[in-house]
Amino acid sequence: MKRREPLTNTQLLMTIAIGIFIGMYALAMAFLGGGFLKAQQFFDILNDNSFLILLGCALTIVMIGGGINISVGGVVGLTVMACALYLNGTNIENSTLSISVTLLLALGIGLAFGIGQGFLISYMEIQPFIVTLAGMFLARGLTTMLSIYPVKVTHEGFKELVKQKLQIPFLGYIAKNGNLIPAKLEIGAIVALVMLILTWYLLKHVKLGRDIYALGGNQQSALMLGINVKRSRFLSYVISGFLSGLAGFVYLLHMPAGKADTANASEMDAIAASIIGGTLLTGGVGNVFGTFFGVLILATIKKIIVLSPLNDSWWQDMASGAMLGFFILLQSIVLSTREKRKIKAADKAALQKG
């Protein structure tokens, strides 16, 4: 007997997010036209938000495990600044080598934060909110310590790398002068998409990923089922830190300059994206593809507002806020009606059995 299972909560919430994104984008194409009719518009959203996709993954992982990480924006800021300073100061001749060292530096900073915070949260059992809040302050503090002035990357090799883009001719468009302008995807966006798939794979098919779901579903039960709860939680923060470090590097690739307030409040965007994509703050439910669409939804709203007469940054913030509120409301309505139906179904099953 083959029968389709009803969507899990995770799948249902993600489907809603995808549906809303498609609807929104279609409306933008219909009413705003212009840029939205070109594929490049979509690629620009990816290019501009590649670091946010990575941060979204970083948050989704810890949120599924029932935690939170608000230090990710700070870690991006610190990484960007440290890498920019390193690149400008390095005396390694070989440019590939110096860029590799920069990448290692970025990942190292992210991992250091991940390991430190993970240890405090998991083994010392301190509230994740408090630990990562402290982490955020530490990262921002270190960033200003490194330099209070903006630092522009002057490293030639890196600047070359920033210009590298994947050209996709068949999605391009014909410019006014008759030339074909291919659609362009930046390296950072490709990295983000690859990591998105890897993170999905980790959460869906790797033992650690499943342990994180179990832990978020019910920590006590996870323990009794024989899961190493502390280790799983620790690793979720380590991965989260790693992804934040990588996000910093990707940020630098998109905008090669360090500033004290780089990626300011981006942790909030990442949290919002996760929630919109169907990750519940209570843990145990979520999916990085949903988060990906969460990022796209937030970015598209901003684009729409830029193109509309309401072009003001506070309108963008309000729209994002309204979107988040709308999603949370929608989720709680969907989940609670589901809950009721579920109980009925369970009763029915019991009845059939009896």
Partner 1 sequence: MQNDTILTMRGIDKQFPGTRALSKVDFTLRKGEIHALMGENGAGKSTLIKVLTGVYEKDGGSIWLEGVEGEAHIHSPQDAQKLGIATVYQEITLCPNLTVAENMYIGRTEGQIVPWKEYEKKATALLNNLGIPARAKQELNHCSLAVQQMVAIARAVDMNCKVLILDEPTSSLDDKEVEMLFSLMRDLKSRGVGIIFVTHFLEQVYEVSDRITVLRNGELVGEYAIEDLPQVELVAKMMGKDLHDLSDLEQIGSKHKAEDEIIYEAQKISSSESKPFDFSIHKGEVNGFTGLLGSGRSESVRAIFGADRVTGGKVKMKGKEVKISKPHDAMKAGIGYLPEDRKKDGIIADLSVRENIILALQVMRGFFRPMSKAQMEAFADEYIKALNIKTASQDTLVGSLSGGNQQKVILARWLLTHPDYLILDEPTRGIDVGTKLEIQKLVLKLAAEENMSITFISSEIEEMLRTCSRLIVMRDRNIVGELTGDQLTQAQVMKTIAGGGQ
| Residues 277-296, interacting with partner 1 (CB under 8 A) | 284-285
Q: How far apart are alpha carbons 289 and 275 in whole angstroms?
A: 12
CB of 216 to partner 1, least distance (A): 7
CB of 270 to partner 1, least distance (A): 22
Q: How far apart are alpha carbons 18 and 65 in whole angstroms?
A: 23
Q: Among 68-76, 155-163, 309-317, 343-351, which window interacts with partner 1 (CB under 8 A)?
A: 343-351
Do 102 and 87 meet the contact criterion of CB atoms below 8 Å apart? yes
- If one asks whether residue 9 binds partner 1 (CB under 8 A), the answer comes out as yes
φ, ψ at 183 (rounded to 5°): -70, 145
| Residues 207-236, interacting with partner 1 (CB under 8 A) | 207-208, 210-211, 213-214, 216-218, 220-228
For the window 50-89, what string marks contact with partner 1 as x by the rule CB under 8 A?
Answer: ----------------------------------------
- If one asks whether residue 351 binds partner 1 (CB under 8 A), the answer comes out as yes
* Alpha-carbon dihedral sign for residues 319, 320, 321, 326: positive
| Residues 303-342, interacting with partner 1 (CB under 8 A) | 342
CB of 62 to partner 1, least distance (A): 16
Nearest Cα to Cα of residue 69 among 347, 266, 230: 266
**How would you classify the pairing of strands 165-174 and 180-186?**
antiparallel
Q: Among 8-16, 116-124, 294-302, 306-314, which window interacts with partner 1 (CB under 8 A)?
A: 8-16
* Alpha-carbon dihedral sign for residues 191, 192, 194, 198: positive
CA distances from 119 to 111, 131, 226, 243, 246 (A): 12, 10, 21, 17, 20
Q: Among 120-128, 130-138, 205-213, 292-300, which window interacts with partner 1 (CB under 8 A)?
A: 205-213
Q: Residue 226 — left, alpha, or beta (φ > 0 → left; ψ -120 to 50 → alpha)?
A: left
Structure tokens at 269: 């965007």
CB of 75 to partner 1, least distance (A): 27
Q: Among 1-9, 134-142, 188-196, 316-324, which window interacts with partner 1 (CB under 8 A)?
A: 1-9
- Which residues are paired to 257 by β-bridges? 152
CB of 297 to partner 1, least distance (A): 24
Structure tokens at 273: 């994206």
**Residue closer to partner 1 (CB basis): 285 or 304:** 285
List residues near partner 1 by CB under 8 A: 3, 5-6, 8-10, 204-208, 210-211, 213-214, 216-218, 220-228, 284-285, 342, 344-347, 349-354
